[in-house]
Amino acid sequence: MSGQIEGRNPVLEALRAGRALNRLLVARGAREGSIRQVVALARERGVVVQEVDRERLDAMAQGRNHQGVIALAAAHRYHDLDDLLARAAASGEDPLLLVLDGIEDPQNLGSLLRTADAAGVHGVIIPERRAVGLTETVAKVSAGAVEYVPVARVTNIARTLDTLKERGYWVVGTHQDGRELYYEARLTGPLAVVIGSEGKGMSRLVREKCDFVVRLPMLGHVTSLNAAVAGAILVYEIRRQRSSTG
C-alpha cells in the first residue's frame, strides 16, 4: 500500500473511506473546484492541511498529474487512546506508555517503536501536529515493531497527560535540569514516560504536567542525548526496577 496518494479523486475517496492520513499537501492558492471539498473533508477528519509551492508537489509526484493535491498516508493505522489504555490495563502488569512530545525525525520515532516493542512498552502516544507520524520510513526503521506496538495520535499532549493521571498513571519527564538522576528515581507503578522533541525537549506546558522530571548524567561535552537513545535508557531502567521488585 503506497504511503502517498495523488490527485483529487483518489485523495477524496481515501478520506471518505477513513484512510489514516498524516498530512494533506495542497498547492498554494489552489482552491478551485473539488479542491475545496477535499480540504474541507480533510479538516473535518482532523488531517493536517499544509499549503506548499506547486514545484514541491511536482518534485514529490510519482505520477503525471497530482492536480495540486498529495496526501501522505500513514503506513499503519492509529489506535484510539481509550483502546490503547484498555490494552495496557489488560496486560496483567503495571502499564507503561511512551509519550513523545513533538518528535520530528522519523529515524527517532522508528527507533523508539523498536525499543518499545523490545522492552514491552504497552503503547506510544504522539501528537497530531508538529511531529512525524507513522510514515513508511518510520515503519522501516522500526524493523517491524510498528505492527506490534499500538500508537495513538492525539490533538493535545498536555491534556492527554491529564487523562493519564486521572487513570492512575504517574508521569515522568526527561530533561537535563531534572532534580533526580534517572536511576535514583522510583520508576515503578503505572508510568507514562515523556520524551521531548529533538533540540527543544519537552514544551513548557507538558513539563508542568509531569509528576517528576529525571535527568541522565552527561559527563562529556555535549549537553543532551539523542531522543531515541534517552528513551531506550529510561525504559530499560524501568524494566530493571520492575524486575528487581518482583
pTM for this predicted structure: 0.77
Q: 208 in helix, strand or coil?
A: helix
pLDDT digits (tens, 9 = 90+) for 178-233: 888 999 999 999 999 999 987 788 899 999 999 999 988 876 655 566 889 999 99
> 37's torsion region: left (phi>0), alpha (psi -120 to 50) or beta?
alpha
pLDDT digits (tens, 9 = 90+) for 84-98: 999 999 999 999 999
**How far is CA 216 from each of CA 102, 131, 185, 227, rounded to the nearest angstrom?**
20, 24, 11, 12
Torsion of CA 81, 82, 83, 88, to 10 degrees: 90
Mean pLDDT check: name the lowest of 74-78, 80-84, 98-102, 206-210. Answer: 74-78
DSSP string, 62-98: SSS--TTEEEEE-SSPPBPHHHHHHHHHTTSS--EEE
| pLDDT for the residue 2 | 53
| pLDDT for the residue 220 | 63
Inter-residue contact 16 to 29 (CB < 8 Å): no
Please give the Cα distance from 138 to 48 (Å, whole number).
18
Q: What is the DSSP letter of 147?
A: G
Mean pLDDT (whole number) for 172-183: 88
**How far is CA 92 from each of CA 5, 89, 176, 221, 241, rounded to the nearest angstrom?**
40, 7, 33, 42, 17
Please, what are the domains in the chain? 4-73 (3.30.1330.30), 81-244 (3.40.1280.10)
The one-letter code for the residue type at 238 is I
| pLDDT for the residue 1 | 42
Count of residues in the chain: 246
Beta carbons within 10 angstroms of residue 196's beta carbon? 23
